[in-house]
Chains A and B, each alone.
Chain A
Amino acid sequence: MEKHNSSLSERRNFLKLFAAGGIGAIALKNILSFFNVKFESGEKITALTPDGKLVSVLKSQVETHVHHPVTQKVAREGIPGKKFVLVVDLARCRNARKCIEACEEHHHLTPDRPFIKVLKVQDNPRSSPYWMPKKCFQCDNPPCVKVCPVGATFKRSDNIVLIDNERCIGCRFCMAACPYSARVFNWGEPKPVENYHEPYSPETSVPSRKGTVEKCDFCPDMLRENKLPPCITSCPNGVLFFGNALEDSVTNGSETFRLSKLLRDKAGYRYMDDLGTQPNVYYLPPVDRLFPFKEGDQPNS
Chain B
Amino acid sequence: MDNIITKLENIGVPVKDDDRIENDLMKHIGAPGRGIKFWVFVLLIVILIGAFAYYRQLRYGLIVTAMRDYTSWGIYISNFVFFVAVSLVGSLVSSILRLSKATWAIPLNRISEIIAVAAIICASVTIIIDMGRPDRFFNIFIYGRIQSPIIWDVIIIGTYLVISLLLLFVSLLPDIAACRDKLRDIPKWQRRFYTYFAFNWKNKPVQFESLKKITAILGIMVIPVAFAIHTITSWLFATTWRPGWDSTNLGPYFVSGAFMVGTAIIIVAMYFIRKYLKLNEYITDRHFDNMSKLLVLLSLVYLYFNINEYLGPSFKMVGVEGEHITELFLGSYAPLYWFVQIVGLILPIIILVITPLRKPLPALIVSFLVIIGAWLKRFLIVIPSLQHPYLPIQDVDESYLHYNPTWEEWAITAATFAGALLIVTILIKIFPVLPIWEIKEERKAYKPEFK
Contact = CB atoms under 8 A, between A and B. Distances in A.
Interface of A: 112-113, 117-121, 134, 143, 146-152, 167-173, 175-181, 183-189, 210-213, 272, 275, 277, 298-301
Contacts of B73: 172, 176
Contacts of A187: 61-63, 65, 67-68
A127 B135 CA distance: 50
Contacts of A120: 392, 394
Contact of B60 (A143, A147, A152, A189): A189
B390 A146 contact: no
Contacts of B275: none
Given A169-B131, A170-B131, A180 B240 contact: no
Contacts of A118: 395
Interface string B405-441: 0000000000000000000000000000000000000
B390 A179 contact: yes
A134 B69 contact: no
A152 to B, nearest CB: 8
Given A170-B132, A170-B133, A143 B69 contact: no
18 contacts: A147-B149, A147-B239, A149-B148, A150-B143, A168-B136, A169-B136, A171-B132, A176-B73, A176-B237, A181-B70, A181-B391, A187-B63, A212-B132, A212-B133, A213-B132, A298-B394, A299-B395, A300-B401
A178 B386 CA distance: 11
Contact of A146 (B147, B236, B401): B147
B158 interface: no
6 A-B pairs with the lowest CB-CB distances in the bound complex, closest first:
A170-B132, A211-B132, A188-B63, A179-B241, A149-B150, A187-B63
A148 B239 CA distance: 12
B240 A177 contact: yes
A292 to B, nearest CB: 20
Nearest to A187: B63
A263 to B, nearest CB: 22
B17 interface: no
B21 interface: no
A134 B401 CA distance: 19
Contacts of A113: 69
Nearest to A183: B69
A237 to B, nearest CB: 19
B148 A148 contact: yes
A57 B60 CA distance: 44
Contacts of A149: 140, 144-145, 148, 150-151, 154
Contacts of B286: none
A117 B132 contact: no
Contacts of B394: 117, 119-120, 298, 300-301
B134 to A, nearest CB: 8
Pick the most buried of A120, A149, A170, A211: most chain B CB atoms within 10 A of its CB: A149
Contacts of A299: 395-398
A117 B140 CA distance: 32
Interface in B116-149: 130-133, 136-137, 139-140, 142-145, 147-149
A146 B148 contact: yes
Interface string B135-179: 011011011110111110010000000000000000000000000
A211 B63 CA distance: 9
Contacts of B61: 186-189, 210-211
B241 A143 contact: yes
A178 B148 CA distance: 14
Contacts of A188: 60-63
A211 B61 CA distance: 6
A120 B386 CA distance: 20
Contact of B395 (A121, A150, A298): A298
B62 to A, nearest CB: 5
A148 B72 contact: no
B228 to A, nearest CB: 17
Nearest to A170: B132
B243 to A, nearest CB: 9
B391 A185 contact: no
